[in-house]
Amino acid sequence: MYLSTKALILLALSCVLAACTTGYYKNDADEETYGAITGKSELVPGMTEQVVIDEENIIDLLPFSVNTNSFEFLDNEADSEIDAHIIGLDNALDLAFQHSKDYQTQKERLYLEALALTFDRYRYTPTFSFTGSGDYQWDSEDQFVTDMQTLTGMERINTSESIDAGTSLGGRVLLKGGGVIALNLTNSFTRFLTGDISESNGSALIGSFAQPLIRDFGTEIEAEALMQAERDLLYQLRNFTRFRKTFAVRIASDYYSVLLNRETARNNFSGLNSVNLSLEREQAFQVEGLRTLLDVGRLEQSALQADLRWTASITRYKRSLDNFKILIGLDADDNIMLDDDEMELISETGMASPDLTLEQAMDLSMQTRLDLYTELDRVQDSARKINVAANALRPALDFSINVSVPDARNGNLGELDFENAVYTAGLDLDLPLDNQNERNDYRRAMIDYEATARAYLAAVDDVKLDVIDTWRRMNEASKNYDINLTSVEINERRVEEAELRAELGLGDIQDTVDSQNDLTSSQTDLVSSIVEHNIAKLEFWRDIGLLYVNDNGQWEEGVDEPR
């Protein structure tokens, strides 16, 4: 075996030059990390392929339609939505899944979990190292010797100079069964530049193998960290998939809530106009002596209260719209408005609930909820850790073999003498006489197992309660819709009758006020019940695990119910 120092140095330099840029390391990390994500994504139903964290997605609102209308029911905000880009629900979902800060944070968490796994996998691959060093040595001139040379005329003596250089090339493999294989080759030489011109060379090859036989023996013990890292990435993939479903529902929920606030402002404006018309009529009657100041004052107070409700509803609408812009990744000063047609669409779909019984829904959730699978897997993790902790209580008996091959000492750098190699084999015993910490770890692992098992049972109950809650909310919203629909019809007749009687001078001011307020309230409640039912239905599909979200955020409910 013969390796020159020059060859080793050239090898090291070529490796450094091939990987000297930070861009190389980034790309290498991305390739391995995204590969780890892709490798496990097929284990998670509904997992997206779009998890790149460094995409530069510039927000472009130009393709969206632009509003040219001024809305009187927005009062001093009437012109604020002129030239606003109209964002439909699908557009909002697409924007959110590309630009939302919350979504980006979740992608980064997934990436970091996969990045951590790449190191745990790397530990079980052959690793190499190379070091090199060189020293130039000389002695300083002695002043006394210099003076004596000058006085005696002796020939000037040169200072002593030498160069020492060495290289070390090593490799190491960690085995999943607990063993370690290592190999190291060292070369060194010393060259004297003055005086003795001889050279001194030296080389050595050292190989070793170590294997635990009792403590830390076996794949289940040694590779536990790798096993946990693999499973942690799977858990994070499930969490990310669950987040995407929850996030899509949140976008839809907030979208409809903004539209509901807008509709409320419109209804309050309409109610205020009706009250003001009644007030003008009653004030005219007062002038004719047909109404008392007390009656008209009551209507004036009602008009003031309606004006306050209208103003507050405008503020609530604009605030919710601003918050929604931030949620989907837009800037606070981006001028957008949401599409009123979306409210008509959910009204046209009706109030039909999923064709499932509550018992069927809960059974489905037990089979499809990814977070439940994670909680169950964590119980298995805790059980494995008990075995690991128990293994740490056992004696340590390690077997090792070492081989040392010396330099051939023939003046050729890097040439080894295998005939005079030295072999060493041995056993190292360590009795667990001081294992207080290990004992505590073992007991702690047992307690953690019990706690994890309880957490799983609690998660099962939480899932069931989620399904029951959304089921009840759907039924409540459906019933509220029927009630509010009837209420609107009743109050429309009340307002019509009150207006007719008032025009004839036979009406009561309080009846006029109450009927108009009740109509405005019931109209808002009717729209609210439609929104609540649709949101509850989305959350129901999500909670039973049958809401599937594509890469752009659009969803499919159930099995064959595309949105």
pLDDT in tens, 447-483: 999 999 999 999 999 999 999 999 999 999 999 999 9
SS3 assignment for 452-494 = HHHHHHHHHHHHHHHHHHHHHHHHHHHHHHHHHHHHHHHHHHH
Query: What distance in Å separates the CA atoms of residue 190 and residue 22, rounded to the nearest whole number?
Result: 36
- Among 346, 260, 353, which residue's Cα sits nearest to residue 541? 353
Pairing assessment for the beta strands 85-87 and 336-338 based on DSSP bridges: parallel
Query: What distance in Å separates the CA atoms of residue 531 and residue 252, rounded to the nearest whole number?
Result: 10
pLDDT at 560: 46
Amino acid (one-letter) located at 376? L
pLDDT at 314: 96
Amino acid (one-letter) located at 183? L
The structure tokens listed for 527 are 């729209």
Three-class secondary structure of residue 18 per DSSP: helix
Q: Point out the residues of the chain with pLDDT beneath 50.
A: 1-5, 8, 195-197, 559-563
Residue with tokens 């809960």, as numbered in its chain? 362
Angle at 29 between CA 25 and CA 32, to 5 degrees: 140
Alpha-helical runs (H) found in 223-292: 224-287
pLDDT at 204: 85
Residue with tokens 């009204």, as numbered in its chain? 347
Residue with tokens 């630009």, as numbered in its chain? 99
Amino acid (one-letter) located at 327? L
Residue with tokens 């009340």, as numbered in its chain? 494
Query: What distance in Å separates the CA atoms of residue 326 and residue 99, rounded to the nearest whole number?
Result: 10
Helix or strand run (H / E) with residue 521: helix 509-543
DSSP for residue 489: H
Query: What distance in Å separates the CA atoms of residue 484 and residue 490, rounded to the nearest whole number?
Result: 10
HSE (side-chain half, CA atoms, 13 Å) at 221 = 18
Angle at 175 between CA 170 and CA 179, to 5 degrees: 85
Q: What is the pLDDT of residues 192-251, one digit of tens each?
A: 555 444 556 666 889 999 999 999 999 999 999 999 999 999 999 999 999 999 999 999
- Among 533, 535, 559, which residue's Cα sits nearest to residue 547? 559
- Sketch out the chain's domains with CATH numbers: 43-124+222-393+437-562 (1.20.1600.10), 161-219+395-435 (2.20.200)
Whole-prediction pTM value? 0.86
Query: What distance in Å separates the CA atoms of residue 86 and residue 127, rounded to the nearest whole number?
Result: 57
Query: What distance in Å separates the CA atoms of residue 413 and residue 476, rounded to the nearest whole number?
Result: 88
pLDDT at 146: 61
Three-class secondary structure of residue 547 per DSSP: strand
